[in-house]
Chains A and B, each alone.
Chain A
Amino acid sequence: MMRALLALAVPALLLLGCASAPSRPEPAAGAAQLVVQFDGQARTGVKRAAAGSSDSYGRGQGGSGKAFAKVDYSSIDDVIVLIDRTTVAAPAVAELELDRDGFARAQYLASAAGGGPARLVIHNDTGAEAHVVGFSDEQGFEVSIAPGARAEVNVAAPGAYELTCDEVENAATIVHVTTCRSWQGESEDEAFFDDLEPGLCHVTVLAPRLPVVHRTVELAAGRRQTVVAPLTVNTLPRAGK
Chain B
Amino acid sequence: MQGRNLALYAAAAVLPGLCLWAAAAVVPVRSQHLPETVYKSVIAIEQAPWKWSEAKKGSLKGSVSFTGRLSAQPVVLYLQRDDAEGTFDPPAALNVSQKGARFNPSFALLVRGQKVVFDNDEDDEISHNVYFLGASEVDLGMFDRGNSREHTMSDAGEVSVHCSIHKLMDARFFVAPSPACTTLGAEDTSFALSNLPAGRYKLKSWQKQKRFKDIELAVEVVADKETSVTVEMAR
Q: Which residues of A contact B (CB under 8 A)?
A: 3, 6-7, 10-11, 14-15, 18, 35, 42-43, 45-46, 56-63, 66-72, 131, 133, 135, 140, 142, 159-160, 162, 164, 166, 169, 172, 174, 176, 202, 204, 206, 209-218, 223-228, 233-241
Other CB < 8 Å A-B pairs besides A166-B69, A215-B26, A227-B26, 9 of them?
A: A43-B129, A58-B127, A166-B211, A215-B27, A216-B27, A216-B28, A233-B129, A237-B138, A238-B139
* B140 touching A135, Cβ below 8 Å: no
* B142 touching A45, Cβ below 8 Å: yes
* B138 touching A58, Cβ below 8 Å: no
Which residues of the other chain, A, contact B3 by a CB distance below 8 angstroms? none
Within 8 A of A (CB), among B122-178: 122, 124-131, 133, 137-142, 144-145, 149-151, 160, 162, 164-170
* B13 touching A14, Cβ below 8 Å: yes
Most buried by B among A7, A58, A67: A58
Q: What are 24 of the A-B contact pairs (CB < 8 Å)?
A: A7-B8, A10-B12, A42-B165, A43-B165, A56-B165, A135-B212, A142-B68, A164-B211, A206-B35, A209-B160, A209-B162, A209-B170, A211-B133, A214-B29, A214-B32, A215-B28, A218-B27, A225-B23, A234-B139, A235-B31, A236-B131, A237-B137, A238-B141, A241-B150
Instruction: Give Cα A177–Cα B168 distance, bound, in whole angstroms.
Output: 26
Instruction: Give Cα A206–Cα B36 distance, bound, in whole angstroms.
Output: 12
* B30 touching A216, Cβ below 8 Å: yes
- Which 3 pairs of residues, A with B, have the shortest CB-CB distance? A58-B127, A240-B140, A11-B12
Which residues of the other chain, B, contact A45 by a CB distance below 8 angstroms? 142
Which residues of the other chain, A, contact B33 by a CB distance below 8 angstroms? 212, 214
Which residues of the other chain, A, contact B210 by a CB distance below 8 angstroms? 133, 135, 162, 164
* B167 touching A69, Cβ below 8 Å: yes
Task: State whether A63 and B122 are in contact (beta carbons under 8 Å apart), knowing that A135-B210, A140-B213, A211-B137 are contacts in the complex.
Answer: yes
Task: State whether A60 and B69 are in contact (beta carbons under 8 Å apart), knowing that A10-B9, A68-B101, A160-B37 are contacts in the complex.
Answer: no
Q: Is B72 an interface residue (CB 8 A)?
A: yes
* A46 touching B168, Cβ below 8 Å: no
- Using a Cβ–Cβ cut-off of 8 Å, how many residues does chain B contribute to the interface with A? 65
Please tell me which one of the listed residues A6, A35, A66, A212 contacts residue B168 in the complex, with CB atoms under 8 A apart: A66
Chain B residue nearest to A3 (CB atoms) is B5
Q: Which residues of B contact A (CB under 8 A)?
A: 1, 5, 8-9, 12-13, 16, 20, 23-24, 26-33, 35, 37-38, 68-69, 71-73, 100-102, 122, 124-131, 133, 137-142, 144-145, 149-151, 160, 162, 164-170, 209-213, 235
Which residues of the other chain, B, contact A164 by a CB distance below 8 angstroms? 73, 209-211
* A71 touching B139, Cβ below 8 Å: no
Instruction: Give Cα A162–Cα B24 distance, bound, in whole angstroms.
Output: 35
Q: Separation in Å of the B43 CB from the closest CB of chain A?
A: 14
Which residues of the other chain, A, contact B69 by a CB distance below 8 angstroms? 131, 166
Instruction: Give Cα A215–Cα B124 distance, bound, in whole angstroms.
Output: 41
Which residues of the other chain, B, contact A224 by a CB distance below 8 angstroms? 23
